[in-house]
Amino acid sequence: MTKRRVKVRRVYEEPDPGDGIRVLVDRIWPRGLTKARAALDEWCKDVVPSDELRKWYGHDPGRFEEIGRRYGLELQGPRQAGALAHLRELAKDGRLTLLTATSWPEISEAAVLAALLEK
C-alpha cells in the first residue's frame, strides 16, 4: 500500500511535521485565524468551487458524490485548471496538505480536490 501524497486537514488544527506543503483551498480567510497560526505555504483561491456549487452542496453527505462530478467539471476551466496543475506539481515531489476551515473536512470540497490530485 502506498502512502498518500495529498491529505486534507482543518486549518484550525496545529501544523504537523508530516504536513509537507500546506495550502489553504478555501474562498475566504478562516474566521479568527492569524496568518502566523495558520502556518500556510500558499492560499490557492483559484481552485475553489463556484459560489453556486458550494451553496448547492451545503455539506450534505448525500450530495458528496455529485459534488465530485460537478466540481471536476468546474476544474476544467482555464483559471481552475492552471491552479489544479500547480497543486499537482506541489504534490508530485512530496507531501501536500490541503487545508479547509470546514468542520467536516472528510466531505468537503478539499476532499474532492485531494482525490483528484491522487489520481
What is the rounded CA–CA span in Å between residue 113 and residue 50? 14
For 17, the 3-state DSSP assignment is helix
Q: Please give the chain's pLDDT, 119 residues, in tens.
A: 455 689 999 999 999 999 999 999 999 999 999 999 999 999 999 999 999 999 999 999 999 999 999 999 999 999 999 999 999 999 987 899 999 999 999 999 999 999 999 88
| pTM for this prediction | 0.92
Where b means 16+ CB within 10 Å and e means fewer, 56-73 reads ebeeeeeebeebbebbee
Three cell numbers written together for 105: 473536512
The dihedrals phi and psi of 27, each to the nearest 5 degrees, come to -70, -40
